[in-house]
Structure 1
Amino acid sequence: MTDRVELLVSQIDAALPTPAIVRRDVALVAGPWLAGTSSVATALRERLPEHTVVEAEELAAGHAPAAVVFVVSATAPLTESDCALLDSVAADTDAVIGVVAKIDVHRTWRDVLDADRVLLARRAPRYRDMRWVGTAAAPDLGAPVIDDLVTALRELLTDETRDRRNRLRAIENRLLGVHRRLELDAVGTGRDARLAALRAERAAAVHRYRVDKSQRSIALRAQIAQARLALTYFARNRCASVRTELQEDLAGLSRRDLARFPDEVRRRAEEVADDVAAGVTRHLADVGEELGLVVEPVHSRPAVEVGAAPSRARGAETRLMLLLGGGFGFGAALTLSRVFADLAPQWAVGGALGGAVIGVVLTVWVVGVRGLLHDRAVLDRWVVQVVGRQCTAVEEWVGARVLAAEASLGGAAAERDAADHARTEDTIARIDREIREHATAGARAAAARDRHVPVIESALAAVREELGAIDTAKQANSRASESFL
């Protein structure tokens, strides 16, 4: 029967046909903390010197004992962690004895023993026929109560079916382990969570790319609009300020300084052009730095065209002013001559001559002042025209520079968006590839489970059938011995 079981196991995985354990001819004493395992192990070593008794820390990983003595306290029934410990230490061993220790101080130990037996029988069918005994390996008073355990362990170790049952139990544990692994691989414990995380990461990458692209586009448009408004306002204010300064300077110029004034207008126009060019270059560079993009430098400046100053010829106006000035001077001279004639008749002739001189001087002064004011007015109108033309040219140049910067920034932004799109596509491709790999792995695991589970179940059935046959034969022999006696 065992050969048939091993044949079924080899059909699952030919590389692992048998349990990968080392069977040691020792009796393992194990149990929960403070259950009294050390005292039981010491007592068994004294009473069974012909057998090797070890505790859990003395058994290396991958080694399985010939028998397991599982010691629990008589204080309370088994807990879930106690049952898990028993499953672990007796996974590859069928020969197991349950021991309720410290029965000398716990009078209700029999109730605890019965509760433990029922609990383990419900947990796994293999524990249904498990033998239980009570012990007091190191009592506070009286002699140790260990005889029943010694007898039970000696019978278990000398049982002819022990090796066969242990091997079958190891094969069953191996089959159950393979079955659990196949189920876990098929169900994909953690795979759904990983797939959900991958899908969330994919959606986040797409959303982040779209949001970042939209935000960068909005920021670019906003910065360009602000730059156009700010630079146009700056150019207009700079032209207005220089016009005011020139008009103020012109109002205080003498006749000799008027000839140099057109050159001053040209120089100030050059300064305005240089200031506007520098301001535009600096502002657009700041915009590019804030957006994280490179702006092409500005290599031009606003064109400055300051023509010749208008002619100050004033023929008819000069004659009119001579006439008016002469009338003013004659009137002044006549008034002075009359004053002198009335006050001092002896000075009448001198007063007339003096009045004539004063009249001529006043006439010249009036004509000169009026001519200066006329020249200033002509130059003032010329300044207004020059600055107006320059303001228009500067605003057109600023608009052209902002438009060129917008094209440059748009190209750089498009290149950056293309790079981000490529990185996003790589991320999405990686995520999609991992999602497909998980789906493929799940399909392969499900196929492997569907292919191997029937064989595993057949092998488990064969193992349990043989274990049941051994137990049945053992019980029959026991009843026959009792009848004979």
Structure 2
Amino acid sequence: MTAPSAGKPTLPAQVKQARESLLATLRELDPQVAKWVEEQRRARSTKPSVVVVGETNRGKSSLVNALLATPGLSPVDAEVATATYLVFDHAEDWLAKACYPGQLAPVGFPLEELIRWVSAAHELPEGQLPPRYVEVCGPVPLLERLSLVDTPGVGGLDSAHGELAMEAAANATALLFVVDASAPFTATELQFLRAMADRVETVLFALSKIDQFRGWREVLDADRALLAEHAPRFADALIHPVSARMFEMAGRAPNEQAATMLREKSGVAELQGALQELLVGRSVMLGEANTLRALSSALAEQHAILNAERRALSSGESEAEQLRARRDELTVERRSSTRGWQLKLRGEVQRTRVELGHEASRQMRDAQSYFRQQIDSADREQLVQLPQQVDMALQTISQRVSGQLAHRLNQVTDVALAELFSAEELDIIRAQFARGGGPPVVLRPPDKRPPTAEDKLLVFMGVSGGAGAAKLAAAPLAGFALFNPVVLPATIVIGLGAGWWMARTRRHAADKQHTKQWLVESIADARSTLDQLVAEQLIEAEQQLALALDDALSRRIEAIEAELKEVDKTIKMDAQERSKKLALVTKRIKDVAEGRERAEAFLGRIRTLRDRARAE
């Protein structure tokens, strides 16, 4: 990267200057809209998230504890449940809660009981369901600037766990990949990194357990060579040698001098600094990009409004006639229940149901075929672990279907809107929806019922289209939405899980034939549940989209009525007054168009930097 030339502002400084200038322009046109953009900027969280992944027994959880300077916090347990993440965030006092996104209220519990909630070797408290993830908050300085997600390592990156870890990492600001100093990268680790190359912008590496292996420097060199050959995108990435054990020993050192030496040699402080330096600055730029996107949307709305005002000043009565005709057309569309946009909306929703049904069937068939092969080659111990692998596969399928459903509903909405409004009108509608206080379509979870033995088979998982499971990471579509003005983003709440609970509540037979029968029943139950949930969500989506679009029609009709009143006023103006106002409006149109181009140009530069970082 070349150094900035002397006297030339950096990109963050240029973006800040542009943001203030565009806000000033917007304040002159519509102070309320400018206030909304400022509120969005202040309310937007800029805290980055780091997902920690690695093979089993690589010292991952020990390193997380060292980074948080809290020994024993994340359970170091080879039998941690594969379906449960640990999300660490900041709070003034320590607290822990089991989370069931979109389905059940979080369940708080004492921190000393954490291992009972996340380890397959321990029983859950009586009457409790397995959580989708566990959130632990406390007064840790590092967590004031970023959140940390400890993914389970059971199963290995060559199994379904690798796919689930990949989904979590793809939604994070950065990935911290942990390997140990016993040997160079394995084939499965390199395969995982190759798969991640196009999905995660920022990857850091930690070489753990350097105190236990004297030849760790040779392993470090071998790791660099393997990255250059098999995952060249990460060839220049820093690999941080660390020892969580040395960092923990520093807390028991006989004096401060020894403690300081141990902490320095552990490499943990250096890794903490690298995480903060690398991520916090990028997080600020992401926040600025989101503000620029809001400004661009607001300026597009003002451009459409000013164009309508210019037509009124230029055309007079002919513009009034066109507005009346458009008002009458939209009024008919709003009153009709059998024409145009409603039929298009209904047809697109049905098409979505069919497409998702086919895709879910294919993925379930693939999962069943894969696990039948695994059963045939498994020994007794592997059969015992298989239900956890099945559960992860079902969660991954659920996550995929959720993301596909969110994306398809955005497409459905675009089709329905294009049926109703012109391109200029859409600029206004998009901005109105953005300021509506939240997405018009928020799909509800299935109705809650008292848990029964059958209900406990289903451990629901929530997935949000912009933002993943709660604080696990950002929404899967967040990066897409940042650079693509998607209208009506939908929040999807669907999910399932069968294998994990069945492994805990039913004695697992080592007989392969019985296991195959169990697999067929589990996947059939999961498929049935997923179909039902998707159908319920689409029914709800169709109803809410219809209401949202009807509301958009009403707003547009009201706006046309307001424009007609302005046209009447302009008709009564004398020629000199009209000419003066027309000149002012024309200048404002030019300023707004240039402002929007400026915002889009900076968004393009930020996007280019992001893509360049991915390529390096």
TM-score strictly above 0.5: no
TM-score, length basis structure 1: 0.32
Higher helix proportion (structure 1 or 2): 1
Which has the greater radius of gyration?
1
TM-score, length basis structure 2: 0.26
